[in-house]
Chain A
Amino acid sequence: MPAALEARHLIKTYPKVLAVDDVSFAVEEGICFGLLGPNGAGKTTTVEIIEGVTPASAGEVYYFGKPVGSSFREEAGIQFQNTALQDHITVLETLQMFQALYDRRADLERIIDECSLRELLNRDNRKLSGGQRQRLLLAVALVNKPRLVFLDEPTTGLDPQARRNFWDLVNRIRRDGTTIVLTTHYMDEAQILCDEIAIMDAGKIITQGSPTELLHRQYSNAIMELPLSDISGDLSTIKHRVLDTQGLVEIATDDVNASLQALRAQVTGLNRLRIRQPNLEDLFLDLTGHSLRA
């Protein structure tokens, strides 16, 4: 069975900028694949090449084993990072207009309910809140009953409650068997939604796998976090990292007890000590040296 989507050696160059540098990956049918990276990593450009809205400088894209063609446009649903909709048009008219552009059609009533748009059907697009607007854009991406959905940073700018509601929506779509390609710079979002992720930086994929697998591959330890102001002594004998912006010291350790012993003599107290498992943000930081939200 061929992959739902396969990108082979994608390259995109702009004058003086190599935006996408030989990117290859495959997305199996029915999974949620996350493309992660900080702003400017090249993830949106990569996805737009696959979607066919940005031409590649080199490389090929395959959809269920065949080069992308008209069936791809018919069967793919896309939610761009920034999409304006027509003014003076209602939510229902927007959905009807987009649905009329496809031969494939989803049950609009079901999409309206799934995306919680029932109460908003007669509202002008201009009068939607950020979360309502994202739900509409997702609904627009679903009007053609897509086999593959692209979600490009869909929760950027949403409040925490709206983000969680949106995640529930995405999970429902995935349960229906729709393949999802999600780009995000929110690690919690990727950890909750994605079956597999690829982390991009400077136009390249630097690692790829399931979130759990990647963390196990990289870490066998725990991370101890302590406020910088609690450090009174010398930490030069302890391997650590100072996070100036957060006012924290991080110590990655395989032996929490031993590290606690060594730390005890160098701090004013351990009341504010936090021990946690490494997450995707730590992984990215370790792999690239960048903060993910840079």
Chain B
Amino acid sequence: MIKRIYAIFRARNLEFLRDRGTLTWNIVLPVALMLGLSFIFSGDRPEYTVGVLQQAAEIDESVHPFLRTRYIEFVAVHDKAAGFRKIERHQLDLLVSFEAPPEYWINPDSSKGYFAELALLQTDTDGRIVKSPIEGDAVRYVDWVLPGILAMNMMFSCLFGVGYVVVRYRKNGFLKRLRATPLRAIEFVIAQVASRLILILVITIFVYAGTAWFLDTRMDGSYLALLVVALLGCITLISLGLLVAARVTSEELAGGLLNLATWPMMMLSGVWYSLESANEWVRQVANVFPLTHILNAARSIMLDGSTLAEVLPELLILASMSVVFLSIAASVFRWRSG
């Protein structure tokens, strides 16, 4: 079994590595995206964002006149520790609580925090609100978006790189030829996962190392933990690609299905922006996507310094998704078209 898996794995690797156009595209695209985005978003976030410490999901403007200030986005914060961490990282400009006694928290190094504080104090006519400073370095947008870019590139490489190739193999009869050998479906599937996994991990590590060196991006956690997340995330996404391609015989249909899988993830998994202020249903839908859990875990490690144990729930979800996707893909796998 191992011998057969290795034979298919090796042949697929050679095919990919010698296809210079595809290989170059897989490396150049994320680097170009990264550089472009870091240039475009080299400044701070364009708006003021103030966290309101409260249990309710909606902001009630009648609680305090400050909440009616224009050009400030108010977001509900339920967890004080999480709010403090965001102030520390400059992800919130200010954190306020209007429950007695009224209080606010600010990072003295944040320029936007300074102006948000002026606006708050202007509306605090009785002067009762208490100030508490919290210190910490800013998380730049480029630090925040880096896991998103890397994960998005992984997603496209895994889904299209595996899904499209399997459909092409099926359509041109190569799978039918393999079917006539002792090779089993699960062996073929494992070989495809292993081949793509190693190639994508190597490319992602290469792109991450280059970007981190070039842009001096933030990494508060362990590289090993991040590697585990990338590994498991890749397996999940490849499995999804195999599931999409398990029976499809047309490249056009495969393209449509793969787009159907990738676009919602790209838009709703928090690649480009945080989902914290999004509607509840959007956040619920986002939880269905593997990319959301990959990003949550990766950002938690890179920006908050979380350990593997702390991101275990996300890892368990990814592992479960992988098992389900792979099992279904292997059991419904179709060797031939027509």
Contact = CB atoms under 8 A, between A and B. Distances in A.
The residue in B11, B177, B180 that gathers the most chain A C-beta atoms within 10 A of its C-beta is B180
Given A80-B173, A83-B174, A88-B19, A73 B11 contact: no
Interface of B: 3-4, 6-8, 10-12, 14-15, 18-19, 169, 172-174, 176-183, 335-336
Nearest to B168: A84
A101 B187 CA distance: 10
A88 B335 contact: no
Nearest to A84: B172
B177 A102 contact: no
B174 A86 contact: yes
The 4 closest A-B pairs by CB, nearest first: A84-B172, A100-B7, A88-B18, A101-B181
B317 to A, nearest CB: 35
A101 B15 contact: no
A169 B174 CA distance: 24
Contacts of A53: 176, 179-180, 335-336
B14 A89 contact: yes
A50 to B, nearest CB: 11
B14 to A, nearest CB: 6
A76 interface: yes
A82 interface: yes
Contact of A78 (B15, B18, B180): B180
B173 A88 contact: no
A167 B325 CA distance: 47
Given A83-B174, A84-B174, A97 B7 contact: yes
Contact of A101 (B7, B14, B176): B7
Contacts of B11: 86, 89, 93-94, 97
Contacts of B172: 84
A144 B4 CA distance: 13
Interface string A139-158: 01000100000000000000
A51 B313 CA distance: 47
A73 B335 CA distance: 15
A74 B176 contact: no
A96 B8 CA distance: 10
B199 to A, nearest CB: 14
Contacts of A83: 173-174, 176-177
A273 interface: no
A86 B15 contact: yes
A101 B335 contact: no
Contacts of B19: 87-88
Given A83-B174, A89-B15, A101-B181, 7 more contacts: A53-B336, A54-B336, A73-B181, A73-B182, A76-B180, A84-B172, A100-B4
A257 interface: no
Nearest to A88: B18
A52 B180 CA distance: 7
Contacts of A76: 180
Contacts of A89: 11, 14-15, 18
A51 B335 CA distance: 13
Contacts of B178: 101
30 contacts: A53-B180, A70-B182, A73-B181, A74-B182, A78-B177, A80-B177, A83-B174, A83-B176, A83-B177, A84-B172, A84-B173, A86-B11, A86-B15, A86-B174, A87-B19, A88-B14, A88-B18, A88-B19, A89-B11, A93-B14, A97-B8, A100-B6, A100-B7, A101-B4, A101-B8, A101-B178, A101-B183, A102-B182, A103-B182, A140-B177
A106 B118 CA distance: 84
B176 A80 contact: yes
A82 B337 CA distance: 12
B106 to A, nearest CB: 58
A80 B172 CA distance: 12
A93 B169 CA distance: 17
Contacts of B14: 88-89, 93
The residue in A54, A80, A83, A140 that gathers the most chain B C-beta atoms within 10 A of its C-beta is A83
A78 B177 CA distance: 8
Contact of B174 (A70, A74, A85, A102): A85
Contacts of A85: 174
A98 interface: yes
A106 B179 CA distance: 20
A47 to B, nearest CB: 11
